[in-house]
């Protein structure tokens, strides 16, 4: 393991190389925006921040600017963390379920616990716009800004509607559309608007299929009215005022 720059969002632990040396990766899973590699008696936790990425490169691949951490594999390849803004993290976690970064996260969109009933119950008394509500990782983790706009459009729910004023039936539809949107995005390799790449270094292509996101002023694909834009919680939101209520 080579650590060129330990000063990420949280410092890379000094003993991390020793914990990983000679160990086998038993499992890889995701919890919210965190990747968890089951290794030995704990987990390597990786967060990519706003602009980081993990790629698999050859052992002789020269380091580029912002290539902060290399983890060498028995195959001769290297798992390389590149993070221009250093908002990511690479930490050692003994028990993910109780770790401060993970214990309060809501269910994943594909979990059995997630659905219209869950959303409707969590929304009771909430005045926050439904767009912000479904992006709250304590409510559901894994629905980002682009996918929230797309799922709300597909469910025909106005993003500014207070979360507590959305019916159970409409939350059922939103939960289904959120899953469908994420399924399509995964099939297209994700969304690349600036610097996202997959583990093979290739960009995602879902942005080419967005119905409303990034299409301000263009015709709505359902009714032809111009797509509008606003902001919720400092994030851009795109919607059709004619279709979404």
Domain boundaries, the chain: 2-98, 116-239
Superfamily of domain 2-98: MutM-like, N-terminal (3.20.190.10)
Which CATH number fits the domain 116-239, given the four candidates 3.30.465.10, 3.30.565.10, 1.10.8.50, 3.30.2130.10?
A: 1.10.8.50
Query: Which segments of the chain have a pLDDT < 70?
Result: 190-207
Burial code (b: 16+ CB inside 10 Å, e: under 16) for 165-189 equals ebeeebbbbbbebbbebbeebeeeb
Token pair of 150 as six digits:
């797309």
Residues making up the chain, counted from first to last? 245
Domains 2-98 and 116-239 share a fold: no
Give the E-state strand segments of 152-234 in sequence order.
228-232
Question: Looking at residue 194, what DSSP letter applies?
Answer: S
Per-residue pLDDT, 196: 46
The dihedral over CA atoms of 207, 210, 215, 220, expressed in degrees to the nearest 10, equals: 160
How would you classify residue 236: left for phi > 0, otherwise alpha for psi between -120 and 50, otherwise beta? beta
Give the model's pLDDT for residue 192.
Answer: 47
Question: Residue 190 has what pLDDT?
Answer: 59
Give the model's pLDDT for residue 50: 86
């Amino acid at each position: 393991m080579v650590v060129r720059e330990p000063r990420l969002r949280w410092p890379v632990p000094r003993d991390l190389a020793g914990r990983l040396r000679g160990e086998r990766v038993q499992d890889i899973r995701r919890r919210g925006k965190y990747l968890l590699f089951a290794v030995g008696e704990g987990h390597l936790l990786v967060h990519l921040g706003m602009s980081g990425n993990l790629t698999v490169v050859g052992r002789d691949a020269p380091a580029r600017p912002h290539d902060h951490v290399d983890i060498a594999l028995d195959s001769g390849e290297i798992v390389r963390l590149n993070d221009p803004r250093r908002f990511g993290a690479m930490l050692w976690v003994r028990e993910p379920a109780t770790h401060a970064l993970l214990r309060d996260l809501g269910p994943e969109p594909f979990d059995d616990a997630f659905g219209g009933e869950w959303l409707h119950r969590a929304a009771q008394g909430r005045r926050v716009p439904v767009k912000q509500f479904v992006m709250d990782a304590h409510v559901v983790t894994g629905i980002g800004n682009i996918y929230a706009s797309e799922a709300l459009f597909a469910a025909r729910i106005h993003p500014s509607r207070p979360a507590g004023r959305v019916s159970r039936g409409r939350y059922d539809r939103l939960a289904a559309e959120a899953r469908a949107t994420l399924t399509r995005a995964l099939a297209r390799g994700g969304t690349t608007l600036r610097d996202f790449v997959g583990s093979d270094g290739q960009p995602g292509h879902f942005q080419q299929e967005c119905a409303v996101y990034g299409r301000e002023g263009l015709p709505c694909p359902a009714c032809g009215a111009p797509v509008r834009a606003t902001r919720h919680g400092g994030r851009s939101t795109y919607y059709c005022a004619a279709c979404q209520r």
